[in-house]
Every structure is written in C-alpha cells, then in structure tokens.
Amino acid sequence: MVDRPRLIVPEIVETYGVSTDTVSKTWAQHPAWPAPVDKRGRFKEYDAQDVAEFVRDHVEREPVTLEPTRLYTAKQLEDAGIGIKAATIRADRSRGRWPAPDDTANGVNRWTGATATKALEGRRGYRRTGRPGHSQS
C-alpha cells in the first residue's frame, strides 16, 4: 500500500505561496481545515489532498466577470460575488490599497467594472494560473 503524500506547514507555505501566518493563523483556524494525520518533527502533518481540497473550496475563488463600463458601488461589488465585503473596499480605499473611484456623483463612490477587475487581479485568494506542484512561471 502506498501512503498518500503529506505536508507540514513550511511545505504548505511553499506550495501555495502564502505566509506561515496565513496557514497557521488563518487557514488552520477555519472549521473545515483538515485534521492532522501525523507529526513530523515539531510540525503537524496534513494529508496533501485534504489541504488541496480545502484551498480549492475555501481559499481560491473564480474571478467574477464585471461589466467593464458599468459603475458599481462597493455594496454592488460585494453583491456581485467578488469575495470582498463593501466595508473592506472602503477600508482599503482609505489605506490606499483600492483605487480611487471613477465616479463620485451625489457623494457615492462608484468604480467601473474594469477598474474593479484590475484592482482584484493583485489580491490574494483569486485562482492562479498554476496548480500546486506545477511551475507558475
């Protein structure tokens, strides 16, 4: 019988291109995070397939297609399923991590779908072109 591949936190970090804190303090705290199957040194070992399924189901999101010229409020972007709450957009805007609105008529910040899509491209959590264990060059 062949054992299924297993990963420890440093290997998960390398495989998925995230920080140790992301794995230990965010992913591992999620109720759906897989239970450890063993221990290697000081690290818990996780079934690699279970980790991949967790990432697929709870971390990666398919990019949402927004109408490029339509104007969206932060709430409309949230409702469109971009995976970011309106409050996060507003907070990121105040911290310079979200672009300036394309329109501010009547005191309402609105972004075109093209602007929002470009802003989302640089955020973590959106499906990358490569898969774990494959080159992402």
pLDDT digits (tens, 9 = 90+) for 22-71: 999 999 999 999 999 999 999 999 999 999 999 988 887 677 889 999 99
Sheet with 6-7, edge to edge strand ranges: 6-7, 43-47, 38-40
Count how many domains the chain has: 2
86 and 113: one domain? yes
Is residue 132 packed enough to be buried (19+ CB in 10 Å), middle (13-18) or exposed (0-12)? middle
Q: Is residue 127 part of a domain?
A: no
Q: Report pLDDT digits (tens) over 102-111.
A: 999 999 999 9
Does a structural domain hold residue 101?
yes
Domain extent at residue 27? 6-58
Residues 48 and 81 in one domain: no
Q: Which residues contact 61 (CB under 8 A, 6 or more apart)?
A: 83, 125, 126, 127
Distances in Å between the Cα of 108 and the Cα atoms of 31, 67, 93, 105, 136 are: 37, 19, 13, 6, 39
Give the integer Cα–Cα distance in Å for 129 and 113: 22
> What confidence score (pLDDT) does residue 125 get?
54
Q: Are residue 36 and residue 80 in the same domain, yes or no?
A: no
In a domain, 17, yes or no: yes
